[in-house]
Amino acid sequence: MNWLGLGAVLFFYILIFAIGYWASTKSKKGDTDDFLLAGRKLPLWIAMLTMAATWIGGGYINGTAEAAAASGLVWVQAPWGYGLSLIIGGIFFARKMRRYQFRTMLDPLSQRFGTRATGLFFLPALFGEIFWVAAILTALGTTFSVIIGLDIQTSILISAAIAILYTTIGGLWSVAYTDVLQLGLLIFGLILVMPFLFEGVGGLDQLKIQYHDKFGSASSFIPNKAEMGNYFWNWLDYALLLIFGGIPWQVYFQRVLAARTEKTAMWFSIIAGLICIVVAIPAALVGMVGAVTDWSSLGLSGPVNAASTLPYVFQYLTPPYIAIIGLGAIAAAVMSSIDSSMLSASTLAVWNVYKPLFKPDLADENLLKILKRTIVIVGIAATILSLRVDSVYALWFLCSDFVYCLLFPALVCALFDSKANSIGALAGFLVAAVLRFGGGDATLGIPTLISYPMIEDGIVLFPFRTLAMVCGLITILIVSRITNRLYPPTPLSIVKG
């Protein structure tokens, strides 16, 4: 046990919890709007930073380093993909969502398609958030195993318990302020170690040369179609998945809907997207260093797996005290990322499913109690998943996979197609589900059921995820128009109260 490392982590954890508890006192009314949307009074600077911190968590930093070390920069798609998703979301989605004063991302679907259909679309949203939390916890476990010698399972359990506790206390106010602290700690930790990383590889220029020698054309962010072959289509599928699959998230729209005005919602989303792209650069450099370092010359075997690259590089390529402070700061930042997704998933479960379908007359006070219990349930589910999956990056991609294929078409039609109806939405969901799950999934152990072209090494390289999304979208448009007379579309309306 590294007691100095444990002390550093405990210090940062206590700091995170203290900020979360203090932020909970800003909730003046104590009602649902205050708990879920901070009374729609998030200041611009808080909103901008909490939006960026929502994406820049453990999966983001550890996952970027993992992909850069294992596959080359060309496959480090998630940072710029999610960054672009925030920018596109700000330009096209944020203003309209805020204008109608919705409380959740599923509210426009509920108005257009009804509460029962919304219960179906809740499923990919829920699993997306749970996968996100699990990715963060997995990143946290690998970090802890290196920094203090604590086993991964114990690290995950302790961190999940702390995050669940302060999320249930203060709601979005606590989440927002701890997010700001998280982002500060994360940037501090990365800046602290950067000067030491390039010494062992001969400097930045030498790092680029060695990295290119190892990965060839894959050492660039820009794909080489000729050399990638059919893998280019797989790359394109994932790129579109991340860009557009990064939009239909309650964790994103919870901040959009908490903004003071629709203009504020648009601008802090755009700025946060740019911050996300910039902050990924040092994480990618860490992965590059981990990939080219001759660990055997240092008497080390190297990272046990690619997911451990970032904590391993910090631990063994920087001075001990720098490694402790840097990893402690990042570990605390990783932990505080969990709260956003737990709150978001619980919000959807209670507000869009439980209340309208089972307890329409549920009082505000009782709703808050059920919401806090749901946070605990979601946290436990994600914790169990994180104990069973090793790859941060695999979970990170999987987060946006289902929401891209199943939820994005419905959200687009609910907001922008006045003729979309419930029958069209259900038909689109079924078509997209068949095409998506027919392609299988290695992470979840789902076999390939549809004989798509371009199958190499057991991997479907054909962009079937994008095919599923586009077919789902077209199905909604066509079926809605065919069934318009029997099932007239419901217009969107501004939410009162």
Amino acid at 76: V
Cβ–Cβ < 8 Å for 345, 130: yes
Q: What percent of the residues of the chain are helix, what percent strand, and what percent coil, each to the nearest 5?
A: 75, 0, 25
The verdict on residue 40 lying in a domain is: yes
Burial tier of 213 (Cβ tally within 10 Å: 0-12, 13-18, 19+): exposed
**Tens of pLDDT, residues 332-341:** 666 656 777 7
**Across residues 454-479, what is the average pLDDT?**
95
**Listed residue (194, 236, 241) closest to 396, CA to CA:** 241
CA contacts within 13 A on the Cβ side of 371? 27
Band of the pLDDT at 171, cuts 50, 70, 90?
low
* Secondary structure (3-state) at 417: coil
Tokens 């179906």 appear where? Answer: 120
Tokens 């007359």 appear where? Answer: 361
Percent of the chain with pLDDT over 90: 44
Per-residue pLDDT at 344 exceeds 90 = no
d(CA 453, CA 242): 22
Choose the weakest-confidence range: 260-264, 269-273, 375-379, 478-482. 375-379
d(CA 371, CA 342): 10
- The number of distinct structural domains making up the chain is 1
Q: Note the pLDDT of residue 1.
A: 65
* Secondary structure (3-state) at 303: coil
What CATH number is associated with residue 235? Answer: 1.20.1730.10
Q: Which helix (H) or strand (E) holds 41?
A: none
d(CA 473, CA 406): 9
* Secondary structure (3-state) at 489: coil
Percent of the chain with pLDDT over 70: 91
Higher pLDDT, 175 or 77: 77
**Tens of pLDDT, residues 83-130:** 999 999 999 999 999 999 999 999 999 999 999 999 999 999 988 888
d(CA 392, CA 141): 10
Per-residue pLDDT at 12 exceeds 80 = no
459 beta partners: 456
The verdict on residue 64 lying in a domain is: yes
The verdict on residue 411 lying in a domain is: no
Q: Is the dihedral of CA 195, 197, 203, 206 positive or negative?
A: negative
The verdict on residue 463 lying in a domain is: no
**Across residues 311-315, what is the average pLDDT?**
86
Band of the pLDDT at 151, cuts 50, 70, 90?
confident
Residues in the chain: 497
**Tens of pLDDT, residues 190-214:** 888 888 888 878 888 999 999 999 9
259 beta partners: 42
Q: Note the pLDDT of residue 39.
A: 76
**Across residues 272-296, what is the average pLDDT?**
93
Residue 329 structural domain? 3-402
Choose the weakest-confidence range: 256-270, 283-297, 385-399, 404-418. 385-399
Q: Note the pLDDT of residue 292.
A: 94
The verdict on residue 14 lying in a domain is: yes
First-to-final CA distance of the chain? 53
Q: What are phi and psi of 230, to 5 degrees?
A: -70, -20
Band of the pLDDT at 272, cuts 50, 70, 90?
very high
d(CA 366, CA 380): 22
What is the 3-class SS of 82-139, one letter each residue?
A: HHHHHHHHHHHHHHHHHHCCCCCCCHHHHHHHCHHHHHHHHHHHHHHHHHHHHHHHHH
Residue 280 CB coordination number (10 Å): 24
Tokens 């090793």 appear where? Answer: 390
Cβ–Cβ < 8 Å for 65, 313: yes
Structure tokens, 184: 């500060």
- Please name the residues in contact with 373: beta carbons below 8 A apart, sequence gap of 6 or more: none
The verdict on residue 149 lying in a domain is: yes
Band of the pLDDT at 290, cuts 50, 70, 90?
very high
> CA distances (Å), 295 to each of 283, 284, 291, 299, 423, in order?
19, 19, 10, 7, 58
Q: Note the pLDDT of residue 219.
A: 96
Band of the pLDDT at 45, cuts 50, 70, 90?
confident
* Secondary structure (3-state) at 201: coil
* Secondary structure (3-state) at 26: coil
CA contacts within 13 A on the Cβ side of 324? 15
The verdict on residue 447 lying in a domain is: no
d(CA 488, CA 497): 26
Residue-averaged pLDDT of the chain: 86
Per-residue pLDDT at 225 exceeds 80 = yes
Higher pLDDT, 387 or 490: 490
Q: Note the pLDDT of residue 51.
A: 85
The verdict on residue 427 lying in a domain is: no
CA contacts within 13 A on the Cβ side of 117? 24
Per-residue pLDDT at 471 exceeds 60 = yes
Band of the pLDDT at 170, cuts 50, 70, 90?
low
Cβ–Cβ < 8 Å for 282, 375: no
